[in-house]
């Protein structure tokens, strides 16, 4: 197998660390590619062929990860929100990588621990980030 470039390693680490499922990835890329458009939960559900409850979960999860902004909690409206130029750069590369290597990216995502294990670990990560912010 050929040696991967630093950029490839970086994007696959980003996928491993930040992307919980293929629907998470597709929701993120949908909002990324249409920025600054605002999307409702129903629109995302229709576009990704998932029910509105699942769409709401994905969007809330991506907002907790600070990839999306909640534009209106009342009407459940979301849009992509830049965390940093570095994150924007990684998502742009992720978009291209997913288009070229859909099977490889999907396999990486599916090979991760179960979502319950990741949620448990994420709870500690968010707590640690909040504690850092209070120092």
The pLDDT tens digits of the residues spanning 90-116 come to 999 999 999 999 999 999 888 876 555
CATH number 3.40.50.720 is the correct assignment for the domain at 6-134 = no
Separation between Cα atoms, residue 132 and residue 135, nearest integer Å: 5
pTM over 0.75: yes
pLDDT tens-digit series, residues 54-64: 999 999 999 99
């Amino acid at each position: 197998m050929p040696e991967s470039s630093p950029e490839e390693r970086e994007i696959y680490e980003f996928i491993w660390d930040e992307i919980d499922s293929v629907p998470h990835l597709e929701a993120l890329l949908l909002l990324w590619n249409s920025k600054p458009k605002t999307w409702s939960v129903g629109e995302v559900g229709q576009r990704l062929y998932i029910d509105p409850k699942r769409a709401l979960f994905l969007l809330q999860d991506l907002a907790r990860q600070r990839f999306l902004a909640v534009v209106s909690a009342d009407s459940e409206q979301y849009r992509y929100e830049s965390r940093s130029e570095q994150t924007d750069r990684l998502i742009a590369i992720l978009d291209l990588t997913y288009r070229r290597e859909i099977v490889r990216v999907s396999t990486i995502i599916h090979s991760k621990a179960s979502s319950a294990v990741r949620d448990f670990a994420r709870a500690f990560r968010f707590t640690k980030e909040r504690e850092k912010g209070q120092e």
